[in-house]
Chains A and B, each alone.
Chain A
Amino acid sequence: MAHALPPFQAFLDEHLEPVRAFLRGMVGPGDAEDCLQDTFLAALRAYPRAEPRNLRAWIFTIARRKAIDHRRSRSRDAKPVANAGELIDRRGATGADSQDGMLGMSSRHSAIWAAVAGLPAGQRAAVVLRFAVDLRYREVGEALGTSEEAARRSVHDALKKLRASAGELKEMDR
């Protein structure tokens, strides 16, 4: 058959790391593993009905939905997701180059990813897919269910905001 579904194991082996990178960017490293489990379990449940021709877009759609659900339940639990200001304040207060930032990276990176976390959901997903998962704009569009143009615009808008945040960061480093 030209377009048979591959064994789920092969599908999982191919997409696990890109989806993990995406979820780390979307919900942070602390919660990414739980989201990753939920994502692939939902995928396994629906797998026999999946369209074999674009499984990558399909798994990223599920992952994005899980990330959004996750953030929603986090904010319901009154545990706000770190935003740029908060993380920068914390860093400013302690002055420590802590490793327990947003992505388990140095605080410089944490601050950048915290700024990413502060983006609107669509822009955040687009920028993470483009730069953390390293997809092309066409693929970002497919994963987000939008056009290549819309994906490019989302990333462009996101970068403008991130540059503004980076500018503020630089100010604080002085």
Chain B
Amino acid sequence: MNEFLDRFTERAEEDGLLDVAYATLDTPLGTALVAATRRGLVRLALPNERLEDTLADLAEDVSPRLLEFPARLDEARRELDEYFEGKRRRFELPLDWRLSHPGFYRRVLRATARVPFGKVITYSDAAERAGSPRAFRAAGSALGSNPIPIVVPCHRVVRTGGDIGNYGGGPEMKRFLLELEGAV
């Protein structure tokens, strides 16, 4: 089985047929899933998301040519490991933004990607940085739809007044990440 798969995924990659490669990753929060196209990291599913659902969505939204192929995710997994060990403050791996809606949503996420480790901004700040200062609710929705959490650090966007606000993985997860970064 594994011998077959090793050879098969390598050949698929060589022939340019592996549109989406995925791997699982152990984190202090539980098992996460990372997926990459040839362009870069396209999806990170937090431990509270069901693996089969995530894979079915990727098959439909990106490509059904989807295989478990950890080799393509070596860099992503290394950087994330280092992040959780407190040894990495910024991610350098290439990202594929195709799963975020182009326009305002993507601008919010790109602006969020530039918020440094250990810092927080408010939803209004995020809206302003994306070019629409008053659209803080839409900014919240954009962040809620973040396909690459942690690497695109939507956990660094909090409510005005200090409440940490919502998080796809639940508020405890958001608090854990902010504590890991020494931001709260």
Contacts and interface: CB of A to CB of B under 8 A. Distances in A.
A and B form one complex? yes
Interface of A: 1, 4-10, 12, 16, 33, 36-37, 40-41, 44-45, 47-48
A16 B22 CA distance: 19
A41 B12 contact: yes
Interface stretch (B65-73, B149-157, B163-171, B175-183): B65-73
A37 B56 contact: no
Given A5-B64, A8-B65, A45 B59 contact: no
Interface residues of B, number: 21
Interface of B: 1, 4, 7-8, 11-12, 15, 17, 22, 52, 55-56, 58-60, 63-68
B12 A44 contact: yes
Contacts, number: 56
Contacts of B60: 1, 4-5
Nearest to B63: A48
Nearest to A34: B7
A8 B4 contact: no
A77 B63 CA distance: 39
A62 B68 CA distance: 22
B64 A48 contact: yes
A9 B63 contact: no
A9 B56 contact: no
Given A33-B4, A36-B4, A45-B17, A8 B64 contact: yes
